[in-house]
Structure 1
C-alpha cells in the first residue's frame, strides 16, 4: 500500500489535509498500512482477547458454550478491523462510497455478528462473583443491565429514532463535514456507528439478557420499522443532483472518480445494504423461535409425564360434563 501513496495535497479532509491516493482496488482497500487507526486496533485486540479469555475459563470449568458464538464474534471483530485499520479507512476519508461501506458495515453488520456472540451472557458466566458485601465486575455489569439508563436507551422508542437520525442528522446537516475535519471527529463517528447499531439490534436479537425482551413478532416489527427510512435515505442520495457533503466535493484527480457519481454509488450501497443484515437477523430470529417452541414442547411433555396428563384429563372431563349437561337439557325439553 505504501507504494500507492502520492504526495500530500491541500485537499479538504481529516484535519484539513488528505492523501492523493491511487484508484481504489480490493487489495488497496484491505491492505494494512502505517495510517491504520491505532485506537480501533487496540479495541479489536482487547475485545477479542477478553472474549477468548472468558470462553477458555468456561472450557476449563467444564461448562458448555456453543462453538458458533466465538466464530461469529471473531467475524464481527474482523469486520471492525477491516473497515477501520486498513486502506478502507484511508479511502473512506476521500470517497463517499467507501465511507458509506464503513458506515453500513459498522452500524449494521458488525453489531449483529458481535451480538450473536452473546458477549454479555459470556461475561456473566465467566466473571466470578465478588465476596459478600463487595461489588466486582460481575456485580457492576448486573447493576448496569438493571439501571434506568440502560432501560431508557434500549427502549425501541429511543433506539429506532436514534438509528434513523444517525443517517439523516449526519449527512443532511453540516455535522458530517465538521466531524471530518478532525481525527477525533472521524473516530467518534465510527464509534457512534457501532454503538447505535448495537443498541438497535440488541433487543431485536434477544441473545443476551436485557431490560426489553418483546415477543418474536414484535422483534420482527421493530426490525422492519427502521428499514423503510434506511431505504429512502439511500434513494435520496442516489437521486440528488448536487454534491451533498463538502468533504467529498473535490476528489483528488489521482482517484479517477467523479464526486456526484461516487455519491450516487454511496446511495446505492446504503439502499442495497439493508437487505443483508435483515436476512441475517430474520434467520437468527427464526432459529431462536423454533428452539423456544421446542423447549416449551419438551417442558409440557415432562410435566405431562410427571402428573399423568392431569391437565389434559381435567380438560377432557370438563368437555364430558358439558356434553352430559347438554344431553340432560335435550332430554328435559323432549319430555
Structure 2
C-alpha cells in the first residue's frame, strides 16, 4: 500500500485533473470545492441554454410555462454539476463511497428532477413546425419519439434489465476496473448512469410524451420491480467480506481510510437510494393519478352539459329495455294471470 501511495503521489492516478497525484485527505469542505470537468460543464451549459431558449420563446409568444417545471430542471442541472464538477468527482476516483454517491445521484435523483422539468414537452411547444414539404427540428423530434428505436429503449423489457445490469454487470465483473483506468472510461460510466436513469424513469413519470404510456397500476408495478434488485445489491456490497473491485483497494495511506469500511458505506448509500427516490416517484405517480381522475371527471361533466347527459339517458333507456323484455318473457312463460 505504501509503495502504491508513493507512486500515486509522483504520477497521479488516471483520470485525475492535472495528473498531479491524489487530492488532500477527504473532508466535507473539500468534497464540494469547485473542480469543473470540461465535458460535463459543456453538457450542463448547453442543456441550460436550450431550456432557457425554449422558455424565452414561449414567453415571447404569450404562452406560459409552469415555474415549478423550470425550477425542477434547474435543480437537476445543479445536482449534475455537484456530482461531476466538484471535488466529489476527484475523490470518486479513490473512494468507493464517493463513487457510489455519484452513481446513485446520477441514476436515481438527477433524472427525476430533469424529467419533472418536461424538457421534451417544452421543445415540442417551443419549436415551430416546418413549412409544408420540409422537415425541421420539431418534425425530427416527433419522428424520433414515434420511431421503433424509441419504442424499444423505453420498453420495460429493455429498461428494467438495463437498470439491473448497470449494477451487477458493472461492479461484480472486471468491467468496472477496466473503465476506471482512464478519464474517458470514468466519464463514460457517469454518462451511462444518467442515461439509464432517464430511460428507466421516462415512461414511468409520464410528464413528457413517450412511446409507451402504461396505466398507472402498471407503472407502479414497474417501479416496484426494480426495488428488490437495488436493495439486494446494496446489502450484498455491505455484507461482502472482500473488496468487489481492485480500483479502490489501496487509497492513499495518508488518508487513513479502511477500504472495507468505505465499501460498506458505499453499499449503504446504494441501499438508501433504492428506497428514497422510489418513494418520491411513487408519491408523484399517485398525485398524477389523482389529477388524471379529476380531469376525466371534469371532461365527463362538460360532455354531459353539452349533450344533456345523453350517455346516461342512453344507459337508462338500455336498462328500461332490459326490464321490458324481462316482463315480456315472464308473461310468455305464465300466460294465465292469477285472479285477484
C-alpha deviations, 1:117-151, integer Å up to 9, x for none?
01011001111222222222111111111111111
Which residues of structure 1 form unaligned runs of 5+? 1-5
Which protein shows a greater Rg?
A: 2
Q: Report what 1:29 is aligned to.
A: 31
Matched residues in 2 for 1:169 and 1:305: separation? 57
C-alpha deviations, 1:31-58, integer Å up to 9, x for none?
103xx21100111111011101101110
1:144 matched to 2:148? The reply is no
1:277 matched to 2:277? The reply is yes
Contact in 1 for aligned 2:15/2:186 (Cα 8 Å): no
Q: Report what 2:43 is aligned to.
A: 43
Contact in 1 for aligned 2:15/2:184 (Cα 8 Å): no
Give runs of aligned pairs for residues 116-265 of structure 1, distance below 5 A: 116-265=116-265
Matched residues in 2 for 1:215 and 1:11: separation? 55
Contact in 2 for aligned 1:176/1:245 (Cα 8 Å): yes
Matched residues in 2 for 1:92 and 1:307: separation? 64
Structure 1 SS opposite 2:77: helix
Q: 1:132 to 1:323 in 2, by over 3 A?
A: closer
Pairwise CA distance, 1:243: 1.0
Q: TM-score, normalised by structure 1?
A: 0.93
C-alpha deviations, 1:247-277, integer Å up to 9, x for none?
1000112322100000011111101111221
CA RMSD of aligned residues (A): 2.0
Structure 1 SS opposite 2:189: helix
Structure 1 SS opposite 2:271: helix
Contact in 1 for aligned 2:238/2:264 (Cα 8 Å): yes
Contact in 2 for aligned 1:11/1:252 (Cα 8 Å): no
Matched residues in 1 for 2:72 and 2:307: separation? 42
Contact in 1 for aligned 2:100/2:266 (Cα 8 Å): yes
Pairwise CA distance, 1:24: 2.3
Matched residues in 1 for 2:13 and 2:246: separation? 9
Q: Report what 1:3 is aligned to.
A: none
Structure 2 SS opposite 1:247: coil
Pairwise CA distance, 1:64: 2.0
1:103 matched to 2:110? The reply is no
Bigger shift: residues 224-233 or 24-33: 24-33
Q: TM-score, normalised by structure 2?
A: 0.91
Matched residues in 2 for 1:101 and 1:13: separation? 20
Matched residues in 1 for 2:173 and 2:12: separation? 17
Pairwise CA distance, 1:323: 3.2
